């Protein structure tokens, strides 16, 4: 299972773009990169998933360089409600495999 490293915490302000980078040097060929968001006392919520290059949805963008050893979650124009813990997960996701969560990045958005 590829180990991931991401900052423990980040601060930003409303309206700014926030980029959270995750390192996963040992990513395997069949691994996907998935980001979840978690608010206090709630379940993790799927944000975005990618394999290579760039993926964009209505919530975020995910940038993955060619070597796939890192990835960057980009949140455009954040608001106070984006304050949460963000988890980067790497794995094949196949079958019934359980997800392995790290400590995540605690993002704090200030007015």
Partner 1 sequence: EPEVTQTPSHQVTQMGQEVILRCVPISNHLYFYWYRQILGQKVEFLVSFYNNEISEKSEIFDDQFSVERPDGSNFTLKIRSTKLEDSAMYFCASKGLAGQEETQYFGPGTRLLVL
Number of residues interacting with partner 1: please give it, by CB under 8 A: 25
DSSP string, 51-102: SSEEEE-SS-EEEE-TT-SEEEEEESS--GGG-EEEEEEEE---TTPPP---
Q: Binding of partner 1 at residue 61 (CB under 8 A)? A: no
Whole-number Å distance between alpha carbons of 25 and 18 = 22
Report the nearest approach of partner 1 to the CB of residue 41 (Å): 7
Tokens of 83: 């304050």
Report the nearest approach of partner 1 to the CB of residue 110 (Å): 22
Q: Binding of partner 1 at residue 95 (CB under 8 A)? A: yes
Report the nearest approach of partner 1 to the CB of residue 34 (Å): 6
Which residue ranges make up the site for partner 1 (CB under 8 A)? Answer: 30, 32, 34, 38, 41-46, 49, 51, 87, 92-103
């Amino acid at each position: 299972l590829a180990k991931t490293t991401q900052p423990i915490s980040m601060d930003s302000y409303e309206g700014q773009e926030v980029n959270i980078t995750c390192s996963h040097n040992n990513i395997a060929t069949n691994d996907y990169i998935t980001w979840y968001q978690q608010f206090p006392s709630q379940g993790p919520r799927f944000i975005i998933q990618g394999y290579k290059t760039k993926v964009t949805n209505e919530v975020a963008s995910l940038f993955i360089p060619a070597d796939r050893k890192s990835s960057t979650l980009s949140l455009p124009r954040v608001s106070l409600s984006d304050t949460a813990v963000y988890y980067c997960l790497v794995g094949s996701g196949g079958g019934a495999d359980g997800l392995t969560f790290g400590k995540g990045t605690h993002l704090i958005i200030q007015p």
